[in-house]
Structure formats: C-alpha cells, structure tokens
Amino acid sequence: MTETHAAQTEEGPVETRTQTRSGGRAGRRAKRSTAPTSISRPYIVRNLPPHDILSEESLVRIEDTADAILAEIGIEFRDDPAALDLWKKAGAEVDGVLVRFPKGLIHELLKTAPAEFTQHARNPANNVIIGGSNVVFAPAYGSPFVMDLDEGRRYGTIEDFRNFIKLAQSSPWLHHSGGTICEPVDVPVNKRHLDMVQAHVTLSDRPFLGSVTAEERAEDSIDMARLVFGKEFVEQNCVIMGNVNVNSPLVWDGTMTRVLRAYARANQGSVLVPFILGGAMGPVTVAGAIAQAHAETLAGCALAQLERPGAPVVYGNFLSSMSLRSGSPTFGTPEPASGSLVVGQLARRRKLPLRCSGNFTTSKLPDAHAMNEGTMSMLSAINCGANFVLHSAGFLDGLLSMSYEKFMMDADFCGSLHTFLDGVCIDDNALALDAFREVGPGNHFFGCDHTMRNYETAYFDSALADNDPFEKWQEGGSVDAATRANTAWKRTLADYQAPPLDPAIEGALNDFVARKKAASEDLWY
C-alpha cells in the first residue's frame, strides 16, 4: 500500500513516500508539500480540521447531563456478575444490576485508555492507526439482506459475504475489511463467525473485526487471529476488534459486556456503540440523546479499562432519528448530521478515538435518495472528526440490506473524501504567483509551466462519475450511475486476486475451523 511517486515541491522534484506504516507524520509531511490527491493510502491523515459547532459552555452542559445520568439514574449491567464485581471494586454503587457512578469515577478509569492505537493487518503495509488525526474507512456492517440490480433483495449468503470482502480489498479507498459485512444466513448461527473470520483473513490482507454475538465466538475470533499473528504478538498488539452495541437506553446486556471484556482481556480493541433512535431508545431532542450516548459509551470504555487497563477502546456513536408520521427509523437526516459534529467534540475532549456515522440511508435502491442521505451522513462523519468510519460503503434500506451497487458508489466517494480531507495546501507552488506572471489576463492555463508541473496530482479522478458531455454520454447508451456501478462490481469481482497467504497459516485456520465446526451441532437461531 505504500506508494512512491515523483512530486514537485518548492525546491524541485523529489521522490516522496506518501505515507508509511510507521505512522502518519511522514505521510502528513509528504502530503503537505505534494497534495497527492488521488493516491491510495493505508489510512488517511487528515489536514482538514474537524467542524466544531458548540461552545465550551454548551459542551460542559452536555457533559454535566451525562454525569448526572451516570451518578443519579445509572446504567444496568445485566447477566454479567463479573462486570458488577469489577464496578463494585472500582467504587461504583451497585444495586442489583443497576450501577451508579460517583462523579469523576468514569473519567479516572479512562485515563488508561489510549488516545490512538495501531490495529495491525496481516500485511503490515495495511496497518491502520485509529485515533488522533487519522481516518479509517470500513464497509457497512450487519445487514441480513443483500441487493443488486439483477436479483433485487434476498438474504445474504457466505458467497455474498466473501464477495464484499473481495470488493473491499479491491478498493483503493477503503482501509479496513470490516466485520459482519452481511449476515451469511446459509451458515448456522453458531458457526458463522468461523467462516467470516476465515474469509477476512484469506481474502483480504487488511485489518478486520471479529465476532460479538457470544463470548465464545469472540474468543474463537481472537484465537484465529493468534494463528495468523502469533500468540505473543497478539498479547502485545491490537490485531482484531469487536463492535459492541449498548442496549439503549442505559442498559449494557451481558452478552455484550462479556464480549467486550473478552477483547479487552486479550488486549484487543472494542468499539462501544450506543444505537439511539431519538424518541424510542432516547429522548426526542438531539442534545439529550447525545448526553445519553456519551454516558453509555464512556461506561463501556471504562469497563474495558477495568478488565485490562490500557486495552484499546473506541468511543462509538450511532445517532439516528425517526419518522414521526410512521414511527420508521430514518437515516441520513439533518439532526444526526449536526448532532455528530457535537459527538466529535465530546470524544476529542475525552481524548478517545471516535467511531461515528457512516453512509446511511433508508432508500431501498441505489438512487438519488440513497446518495443524498448517504453523502450528508458520510460528510458528518468526516466533518465531526470520526477516526473509524464503519458503514462507509454499501449501506441501504435502513441497514437491512447491503447493496453491491451502492458499495461501489460509496467506495468511490471514499476516494473523493481522501482529497477532501487533504484540505487546501498553501505553499508557493499552490499559490501559483509564477503562473499568473506567465499567463497574464485573458489567457488560459492549459499548457503553462505551472499546470504541467502540477496536473498529474491536481484533481481527484472518480472511477464512477460520468463527466462526459451529454452527447457523448448519450452515444454511450445514457447509462445511469447505478448501472455503471453494476458493471463495476462485476468487473472488480472478475479481476479479483487473493493476496498471498502463508500456506501454514491457511492450513492452521482450516484445521481450527473444521475442528470447531465438528465440535458442536448446527444452531439456526
């Protein structure tokens, strides 16, 4: 993934490495002088600052409300006595399953949580740094259905699941293989995680997420990662993460806390995500929903620190709204878009990596509605400073369907966002006073020295947009964006080649999966 290219700086042409896996600093330095706007990278180091919208005073009011929720109302931790023990020992007030947190306790516990951490990939060139100024794009997660223009909506299968890993791996604009990209419903519920982790490891060489549906499946996922990376390496480094949901409002279910503790215990990452549809699982007002989510995710992050101080955690958020006419959930609407900007400020104040928003929509087709809502929502993730953007590609139908065509559109948009996040480069070359001296009033810049020096890296070049004149587009068949995307995913799958994998690792994974599958009955619920 590390690319080398010739670039022009104020001092003349130089060879630069746009980014190296050892961290973002070198990449950022190279980027500032060269603005490599269309170059694939293992992750983005943003130059564009986040969009802060609330004052210190308003942010403190939200934090105070979250503190009051934590201290006065409390959070239930159900079906996980070990979690309750940890809370008791830490000084929380435990009353049955209800835990109340004396003011300051959560913030004290979070001091051991890293502000940023590396998630390792089996190809080290694809390691990502989560937190700080870094942005990592991962595919959408968790849809039971898949869709394409040819066959419409149907339940996802392991073949679909593998296809989406291949599409993600083939995209220059995604950084992470994701997790349950779609539910492979043709595989027994208790064995899906084995096939999914195996697919991530064998078909992709990027980082990925493990199972969160049961503690033993999380443990299996981590064990499989140990086969890939080695036990000792995994003990010291984050190589897998679990994406864990709060059962909002103010309930952490035992399945989830056992899973997050399993990841933390193994020194692996967890993303702790309140999913709040305002008016249902939280207040109908945005500020209240944010305060609630803040309390919920911080409690989860703190529990991970109790399990193992220093375990990587990601402040998660999935703010949404609903139609007050029908009660249906809505996505890509303006309230979560502005609300996410506030969530970003809150996460940065706590110095925690942030997962927020994504390319959300309720549309049932990869149409104008889908990309209007999706773009609004994705830009809120970008502008709020999210570090890990799950649901970057493929989300349709209110998260019920993974769309092949929308996946391609979204991945292309992620490319555009690489350039957007580079911001505006200000140096002598970019300011181009020499070009004005050369060209002067009334002439064009097509062939001038400045253009010739800069045009190769000048503009993002979308693979899916049709910028041709109308007549040429018409001669080409008047093809719409969804149809272009349909052609693109089929071509991409046809061209896909698996990244090389050590046969010993592949064999060990095969053995592990076969052994685990043989050890238990198939369960279908």
Q: Is 95 in the site for a copy of itself (CB under 8 A)?
A: no
Amino acid type, 188: P
- Radius of gyration, alpha carbons of the chain: 23
For a copy of itself, give the closer residue by CB, 268 or 330: 330
The alpha carbon dihedral of 66, 72, 76, 82 has a sign of: positive
Burial class (CB in 10 A: 0-12, 13-18, 19+), 177: buried
246's CB contacts (< 8 A; 6+ apart) are 252, 256, 272, 273, 274, 275, 293, 296, 297, 300
For a copy of itself, give the closer residue by CB, 85 or 427: 427
Asked if 134 and 116 count as a contact pair (C-beta separation under 8 A), the reply is: yes
For a copy of itself, give the closer residue by CB, 95 or 108: 95
**Residue 242 carries which DSSP code?**
E
Asked if 240 and 222 count as a contact pair (C-beta separation under 8 A), the reply is: yes
| C-alpha 186, offset from chain centre | 26
Q: Which of 178, 255, 179, 184 is nearest to 213 (CA)?
A: 255
Name which of residues 234 to 253 contact a copy of itself (CB under 8 A). 247, 249-251
Count of chain residues binding a copy of itself (CB under 8 A) = 133
To a copy of itself, the closest distance from the beta carbon of 14 in angstroms equals 17
For a copy of itself, give the closer residue by CB, 27 or 329: 329
Tell me, residue by residue from 285 to 324, as one string, x for binding to a copy of itself by CB under 8 A and - for no binding: xxxx-xxx----------------------------xxxx
DSSP 163-184: HHHHHHHH-TT-----S-SB--
To a copy of itself, the closest distance from the beta carbon of 368 in angstroms equals 4
Quote the CA–CA distance of 209 and 159 in Å, as a whole number.
18
Name which of residues 111 to 150 contact a copy of itself (CB under 8 A). 145
Strand locations in 279-394 (E): 313-322, 329-330, 354-356, 388-389
Among 439, 488, 509, 513, binds a copy of itself (CB under 8 A): 439
Q: Is 254 in the site for a copy of itself (CB under 8 A)?
A: no
Which range, of 19-27, 173-181, 222-230, 455-463, touches a copy of itself by CB under 8 A?
Answer: 455-463
To a copy of itself, the closest distance from the beta carbon of 299 in angstroms equals 11
* Residue 16, beta-bridge partner list: 5
For a copy of itself, give the closer residue by CB, 189 or 465: 465
Q: Is 79 in the site for a copy of itself (CB under 8 A)?
A: no
Among 82, 85, 104, 436, binds a copy of itself (CB under 8 A): 436
The alpha carbon dihedral of 366, 200, 383, 212 has a sign of: positive
Amino acid type, 16: T
Name which of residues 6 to 65 contact a copy of itself (CB under 8 A). 35, 37, 48-49, 51-54, 58, 61-62, 65
To a copy of itself, the closest distance from the beta carbon of 329 in angstroms equals 7
Q: Give the 3-state secondary structure of residue 225.
A: helix
List the Cα angle 417/421/427 in 5-degree steps: 130
Among 122, 176, 226, 450, binds a copy of itself (CB under 8 A): 450
Q: Is 458 in the site for a copy of itself (CB under 8 A)?
A: yes
For a copy of itself, give the closer residue by CB, 21 or 406: 406
Total residues belonging to the chain: 525
Name which of residues 368 to 407 contact a copy of itself (CB under 8 A). 368-376, 379, 383, 397-398, 400-401, 406
Backbone angles phi, psi at 369, to 5 degrees: -60, -45
Tell me, residue by residue from 259 to 278, as one string, x for binding to a copy of itself by CB under 8 A and - for no binding: -------------------x
For a copy of itself, give the closer residue by CB, 84 or 509: 84
Encode burial over 248-264: b for 16+ CB neighbours within 10 A, e otherwise. Answer: bbbbbbbbbbbbbbbbb
> And the tokens for 324?
């007050």
Tell me, residue by residue from 466 to 505, as one string, x for binding to a copy of itself by CB under 8 A and - for no binding: xxxxx--xx---x-xxx-xx--------------------
Among 82, 455, 491, 499, binds a copy of itself (CB under 8 A): 455
Q: Give the 3-state secondary structure of residue 470.
A: helix
For a copy of itself, give the closer residue by CB, 98 or 508: 98
Name which of residues 154 to 213 contact a copy of itself (CB under 8 A). none
Q: Please identify which residue in the block is written with the tokens 């003011």.
A: 103
Among 437, 491, 507, 511, binds a copy of itself (CB under 8 A): 437
